[in-house]
Structure 1
Amino acid sequence: MADSRLTPAQAAEYLGVTVQVIYVLNSRKENDFPHPSYTGRTPTWSQPELDVWRAAHPPKRSARQRHAAEGKDRDRGNADFHDLRTHLAFVTARDSPALTDDLRSLIERTMRDAARSLKSEVEDIRCKANYVHLVVRYPVDTSVASLAQRMRGASTRALRQSHTLDGHLWSKPYYAASAAAHSAARLSRYVECLEQTINN
Protein backbone atom coordinates (compact mmCIF):
# COMPACT_ATOMS: atom_id res chain seq x y z
CA MET A 1 0.00 0.00 0.00
CA ALA A 2 2.90 2.36 0.75
CA ASP A 3 4.13 1.96 -2.87
CA SER A 4 0.69 2.52 -4.43
CA ARG A 5 0.36 5.34 -6.92
CA LEU A 6 -2.54 7.75 -7.17
CA THR A 7 -4.29 8.48 -10.43
CA PRO A 8 -5.35 12.07 -11.24
CA ALA A 9 -8.82 11.47 -9.77
CA GLN A 10 -7.33 9.92 -6.62
CA ALA A 11 -4.72 12.67 -6.31
CA ALA A 12 -7.46 15.30 -6.65
CA GLU A 13 -9.48 13.69 -3.87
CA TYR A 14 -6.36 13.34 -1.71
CA LEU A 15 -5.45 17.02 -2.09
CA GLY A 16 -9.02 18.28 -1.92
CA VAL A 17 -9.05 19.82 -5.39
CA THR A 18 -10.71 19.03 -8.70
CA VAL A 19 -9.29 16.73 -11.35
CA GLN A 20 -9.00 19.74 -13.66
CA VAL A 21 -6.64 21.40 -11.16
CA ILE A 22 -4.43 18.30 -11.16
CA TYR A 23 -4.19 18.35 -14.96
CA VAL A 24 -3.45 22.09 -15.00
CA LEU A 25 -0.71 21.72 -12.39
CA ASN A 26 0.78 18.79 -14.27
CA SER A 27 0.76 20.65 -17.58
CA ARG A 28 2.68 23.64 -16.27
CA LYS A 29 6.39 23.29 -16.80
CA GLU A 30 7.56 25.95 -14.37
CA ASN A 31 6.07 24.93 -11.04
CA ASP A 32 7.01 22.67 -8.16
CA PHE A 33 4.20 20.19 -8.60
CA PRO A 34 5.77 16.72 -8.46
CA HIS A 35 6.55 15.08 -11.79
CA PRO A 36 4.40 12.00 -12.29
CA SER A 37 5.27 8.50 -13.31
CA TYR A 38 3.18 7.10 -16.12
CA THR A 39 1.30 3.86 -16.37
CA GLY A 40 0.57 3.84 -20.06
CA ARG A 41 -0.82 7.33 -20.64
CA THR A 42 -2.07 7.80 -17.07
CA PRO A 43 0.06 10.00 -14.78
CA THR A 44 0.40 8.80 -11.20
CA TRP A 45 1.88 10.23 -7.99
CA SER A 46 2.88 8.83 -4.64
CA GLN A 47 1.32 10.16 -1.46
CA PRO A 48 4.67 11.35 0.01
CA GLU A 49 5.28 13.44 -3.12
CA LEU A 50 1.86 15.04 -2.81
CA ASP A 51 2.34 15.60 0.94
CA VAL A 52 5.51 17.61 0.29
CA TRP A 53 3.72 19.74 -2.30
CA ARG A 54 0.67 20.30 -0.06
CA ALA A 55 2.89 21.36 2.86
CA ALA A 56 4.36 24.07 0.64
CA HIS A 57 0.92 25.05 -0.69
CA PRO A 58 -1.71 25.00 2.09
CA PRO A 59 -5.29 24.93 0.84
CA LYS A 60 -6.92 28.32 0.46
CA ARG A 61 -10.04 29.01 2.50
CA SER A 62 -13.25 29.93 0.75
CA ALA A 63 -14.71 33.42 1.11
CA ARG A 64 -17.31 32.03 3.52
CA GLN A 65 -14.62 30.35 5.64
CA ARG A 66 -12.52 33.54 5.70
CA HIS A 67 -15.54 35.61 6.73
CA ALA A 68 -16.40 33.17 9.53
CA ALA A 69 -12.81 33.16 10.80
CA GLU A 70 -12.65 36.96 10.73
CA GLY A 71 -15.89 37.11 12.69
CA LYS A 72 -14.47 34.81 15.35
CA ASP A 73 -11.33 36.94 15.56
CA ARG A 74 -13.42 40.06 16.02
CA ASP A 75 -15.47 38.38 18.73
CA ARG A 76 -12.33 37.27 20.55
CA GLY A 77 -10.86 40.74 20.21
CA ASN A 78 -13.97 42.36 21.63
CA ALA A 79 -14.12 39.91 24.50
CA ASP A 80 -10.48 40.56 25.39
CA PHE A 81 -10.75 44.33 25.01
CA HIS A 82 -13.86 44.53 27.17
CA ASP A 83 -12.59 42.33 29.97
CA LEU A 84 -13.82 44.64 32.74
CA ARG A 85 -13.63 44.25 36.51
CA THR A 86 -15.32 46.10 39.34
CA HIS A 87 -15.12 46.27 43.11
CA LEU A 88 -18.49 46.02 44.84
CA ALA A 89 -19.23 46.35 48.54
CA PHE A 90 -22.66 45.89 50.12
CA VAL A 91 -23.30 46.75 53.77
CA THR A 92 -26.22 45.14 55.58
CA ALA A 93 -29.17 47.22 56.75
CA ARG A 94 -29.37 48.22 60.39
CA ASP A 95 -32.18 45.79 61.27
CA SER A 96 -30.89 42.84 59.22
CA PRO A 97 -29.45 39.77 60.99
CA ALA A 98 -25.71 39.31 61.40
CA LEU A 99 -24.26 37.20 58.62
CA THR A 100 -23.38 33.86 60.18
CA ASP A 101 -21.17 31.33 58.42
CA ASP A 102 -24.23 29.56 56.99
CA LEU A 103 -25.73 32.81 55.73
CA ARG A 104 -22.41 33.86 54.22
CA SER A 105 -22.19 30.57 52.31
CA LEU A 106 -25.74 31.03 51.05
CA ILE A 107 -25.04 34.62 49.98
CA GLU A 108 -21.82 33.62 48.21
CA ARG A 109 -23.52 30.85 46.21
CA THR A 110 -26.45 33.09 45.34
CA MET A 111 -24.28 35.99 44.21
CA ARG A 112 -22.08 33.76 42.06
CA ASP A 113 -25.18 32.34 40.36
CA ALA A 114 -26.62 35.83 39.88
CA ALA A 115 -23.38 37.02 38.26
CA ARG A 116 -23.30 34.03 35.91
CA SER A 117 -26.84 34.84 34.79
CA LEU A 118 -25.39 38.12 33.43
CA LYS A 119 -22.39 36.37 31.81
CA SER A 120 -20.18 37.68 34.60
CA GLU A 121 -17.90 35.98 37.10
CA VAL A 122 -17.24 36.61 40.78
CA GLU A 123 -13.47 36.34 41.02
CA ASP A 124 -13.23 37.14 44.72
CA ILE A 125 -15.81 37.44 47.49
CA ARG A 126 -15.29 38.14 51.18
CA CYS A 127 -18.22 38.07 53.57
CA LYS A 128 -18.08 39.60 57.03
CA ALA A 129 -20.73 39.88 59.72
CA ASN A 130 -22.22 43.04 58.23
CA TYR A 131 -20.87 43.51 54.70
CA VAL A 132 -19.80 41.70 51.54
CA HIS A 133 -16.93 42.72 49.24
CA LEU A 134 -16.63 41.32 45.71
CA VAL A 135 -14.44 41.59 42.65
CA VAL A 136 -16.53 40.83 39.57
CA ARG A 137 -15.47 40.43 35.94
CA TYR A 138 -18.20 41.44 33.52
CA PRO A 139 -18.75 42.02 29.77
CA VAL A 140 -19.22 45.40 28.17
CA ASP A 141 -22.95 44.90 27.60
CA THR A 142 -23.58 44.48 31.34
CA SER A 143 -23.70 47.53 33.60
CA VAL A 144 -22.33 47.64 37.13
CA ALA A 145 -25.73 48.83 38.34
CA SER A 146 -27.46 45.77 36.87
CA LEU A 147 -24.84 43.51 38.47
CA ALA A 148 -25.37 45.09 41.87
CA GLN A 149 -29.15 44.96 41.56
CA ARG A 150 -29.17 41.32 40.45
CA MET A 151 -26.84 40.12 43.22
CA ARG A 152 -28.47 42.15 45.99
CA GLY A 153 -31.95 41.08 44.93
CA ALA A 154 -31.03 37.40 44.57
CA SER A 155 -29.33 37.24 47.97
CA THR A 156 -32.25 39.01 49.66
CA ARG A 157 -34.73 36.52 48.19
CA ALA A 158 -32.53 33.60 49.21
CA LEU A 159 -32.46 34.72 52.86
CA ARG A 160 -36.20 35.36 52.88
CA GLN A 161 -36.83 31.88 51.50
CA SER A 162 -34.63 30.46 54.25
CA HIS A 163 -36.86 32.26 56.80
CA THR A 164 -33.95 34.22 58.28
CA LEU A 165 -34.98 37.63 56.96
CA ASP A 166 -38.20 39.63 57.12
CA GLY A 167 -37.16 43.13 56.07
CA HIS A 168 -34.32 44.52 53.98
CA LEU A 169 -30.95 42.77 53.82
CA TRP A 170 -28.81 45.55 52.32
CA SER A 171 -28.58 49.26 52.93
CA LYS A 172 -29.44 51.39 49.90
CA PRO A 173 -25.98 52.89 49.27
CA TYR A 174 -23.22 50.62 48.02
CA TYR A 175 -19.64 50.94 46.82
CA ALA A 176 -18.69 50.39 43.19
CA ALA A 177 -15.42 51.23 41.43
CA SER A 178 -13.15 49.92 38.73
CA ALA A 179 -10.96 47.16 40.11
CA ALA A 180 -7.91 48.89 38.66
CA ALA A 181 -8.84 52.35 39.88
CA HIS A 182 -8.94 51.86 43.65
CA SER A 183 -6.85 49.90 46.07
CA ALA A 184 -8.16 47.46 48.66
CA ALA A 185 -7.13 49.92 51.39
CA ARG A 186 -9.36 52.64 49.95
CA LEU A 187 -12.22 50.17 49.70
CA SER A 188 -11.75 49.20 53.34
CA ARG A 189 -11.88 52.86 54.40
CA TYR A 190 -15.10 53.31 52.46
CA VAL A 191 -16.72 50.29 54.12
CA GLU A 192 -15.70 51.55 57.57
CA CYS A 193 -17.18 54.99 56.90
CA LEU A 194 -20.36 53.48 55.51
CA GLU A 195 -20.76 51.22 58.53
CA GLN A 196 -20.38 54.19 60.88
CA THR A 197 -22.95 56.21 58.94
CA ILE A 198 -25.50 53.39 58.96
CA ASN A 199 -25.03 52.33 62.57
CA ASN A 200 -25.07 55.83 64.08
Structure 2
Amino acid sequence: MVFVTKFRHKVFADRHLTRMEQVMRDVCPHFKAELVEFNGANNHVHLLVNYPPKMAVARLVNSLKGVSSRRLRQEFPDLMRH
Protein backbone atom coordinates (compact mmCIF):
# COMPACT_ATOMS: atom_id res chain seq x y z
CA MET A 1 0.00 0.00 0.00
CA VAL A 2 1.10 3.55 -0.62
CA PHE A 3 -0.43 6.45 1.29
CA VAL A 4 0.15 9.92 -0.11
CA THR A 5 -0.31 13.26 1.64
CA LYS A 6 -2.96 15.65 0.39
CA PHE A 7 -1.67 17.55 -2.63
CA ARG A 8 1.65 15.71 -2.15
CA HIS A 9 2.73 18.33 0.41
CA LYS A 10 6.11 17.60 1.97
CA VAL A 11 4.92 17.11 5.55
CA PHE A 12 6.79 14.25 7.21
CA ALA A 13 10.15 14.41 8.94
CA ASP A 14 12.00 11.37 10.28
CA ARG A 15 10.41 11.75 13.71
CA HIS A 16 6.93 11.68 12.13
CA LEU A 17 7.71 8.58 10.09
CA THR A 18 9.17 6.76 13.09
CA ARG A 19 6.06 7.44 15.18
CA MET A 20 3.74 6.58 12.25
CA GLU A 21 5.38 3.18 11.93
CA GLN A 22 4.81 2.50 15.63
CA VAL A 23 1.15 3.54 15.40
CA MET A 24 0.53 1.37 12.34
CA ARG A 25 2.24 -1.61 13.97
CA ASP A 26 -0.12 -1.15 16.94
CA VAL A 27 -3.22 -1.04 14.70
CA CYS A 28 -2.47 -4.12 12.59
CA PRO A 29 -3.01 -6.79 15.28
CA HIS A 30 -6.60 -5.56 15.75
CA PHE A 31 -7.24 -6.80 12.20
CA LYS A 32 -5.12 -9.95 12.53
CA ALA A 33 -2.69 -8.31 10.12
CA GLU A 34 1.07 -7.87 10.24
CA LEU A 35 3.03 -4.86 9.09
CA VAL A 36 5.93 -6.60 7.36
CA GLU A 37 7.73 -3.55 6.04
CA PHE A 38 7.40 0.23 6.40
CA ASN A 39 9.22 2.96 4.54
CA GLY A 40 8.45 6.55 3.75
CA ALA A 41 9.51 9.93 2.47
CA ASN A 42 8.41 13.47 3.21
CA ASN A 43 5.17 13.15 1.21
CA HIS A 44 4.24 9.44 1.21
CA VAL A 45 4.63 6.11 3.00
CA HIS A 46 4.94 2.54 1.71
CA LEU A 47 3.46 -0.37 3.64
CA LEU A 48 3.80 -4.08 3.06
CA VAL A 49 0.97 -5.65 5.03
CA ASN A 50 0.12 -9.32 5.44
CA TYR A 51 -3.60 -9.60 6.21
CA PRO A 52 -6.17 -12.42 6.21
CA PRO A 53 -8.06 -12.91 2.92
CA LYS A 54 -11.44 -12.51 4.64
CA MET A 55 -10.51 -9.02 5.83
CA ALA A 56 -11.86 -6.18 3.70
CA VAL A 57 -8.91 -4.10 2.57
CA ALA A 58 -10.99 -0.92 2.81
CA ARG A 59 -11.59 -1.45 6.56
CA LEU A 60 -7.88 -1.98 7.18
CA VAL A 61 -6.89 1.07 5.12
CA ASN A 62 -9.51 3.31 6.78
CA SER A 63 -8.32 2.30 10.20
CA LEU A 64 -4.61 2.69 9.42
CA LYS A 65 -5.09 6.13 7.89
CA GLY A 66 -7.60 7.36 10.46
CA VAL A 67 -5.78 6.25 13.59
CA SER A 68 -2.34 7.33 12.37
CA SER A 69 -3.64 10.73 11.25
CA ARG A 70 -5.45 11.38 14.52
CA ARG A 71 -2.53 10.32 16.73
CA LEU A 72 0.11 12.19 14.73
CA ARG A 73 -1.92 15.41 14.78
CA GLN A 74 -2.35 15.08 18.56
CA GLU A 75 1.33 14.41 19.21
CA PHE A 76 2.78 16.82 16.63
CA PRO A 77 0.78 20.07 16.56
CA ASP A 78 3.06 21.38 13.79
CA LEU A 79 1.29 18.97 11.40
CA MET A 80 -2.00 20.81 11.89
CA ARG A 81 -0.99 23.71 9.63
CA HIS A 82 -0.62 21.33 6.69
Is TM > 0.5 for Structure 1 vs Structure 2?
yes
Calculate the aligned-residue CA RMSD, in Å: 1.9
Residue-pair matches, total: 81
1:125 aligned to 2:38? yes
Counterpart secondary structure, 2:72: helix
Once the 2 structures are TM-superposed, how far is the Cα of residue 95 of structure 1 from its aligned partner?
7.8
1:166 partner letter: M
TM-score w.r.t. the length of structure 1 is: 0.38
1:98 partner letter: V
Q: Distance between the aligned counterparts of 1:158 and 1:150, measured in 2? A: 12
Instruction: Point out where structure 1 has 5 or more consecutive residues left out of the alignment.
Output: 1-87, 169-200
1:166 aligned to 2:80? yes
Whether the 8 Å CA contact 1:106–1:158 is kept in 2: the answer is: no
Instruction: Point out where structure 2 has 5 or more consecutive residues left out of the alignment.
Output: none
Match of 2:17 in 1: 104
Once the 2 structures are TM-superposed, how far is the Cα of residue 139 of structure 1 from its aligned partner?
1.1
Relative contact order, CA 8 A, sep 6+: which one is greater? 2
Distance 1:97 1:147, change over 3 A: same
Whether the 8 Å CA contact 1:114–1:150 is kept in 2: the answer is: yes
Aligned-pair identity (%): 35
Distance 1:97 1:155, change over 3 A: farther
Flag the structure with larger Rg: 1
Match of 2:5 in 1: 92
Once the 2 structures are TM-superposed, how far is the Cα of residue 153 of structure 1 from its aligned partner?
0.5
Match of 1:157 in 2: 70
Cα deviation, 1:111-155, whole Å, max 9, x if unaligned, reads 111111111000011111100111100112311111111110011
Once the 2 structures are TM-superposed, how far is the Cα of residue 93 of structure 1 from its aligned partner?
1.1
Once the 2 structures are TM-superposed, how far is the Cα of residue 156 of structure 1 from its aligned partner?
0.4
Q: Distance between the aligned counterparts of 1:119 and 1:132, measured in 2? A: 21
Consecutive aligned runs of 4 or more in structure 1 exceeding 6 Å deviation: none
1:147 aligned to 2:60? yes
Once the two structures are superposed, the pairs formed by residues 34-49 of structure 1 within 5 Å of their partners are: none
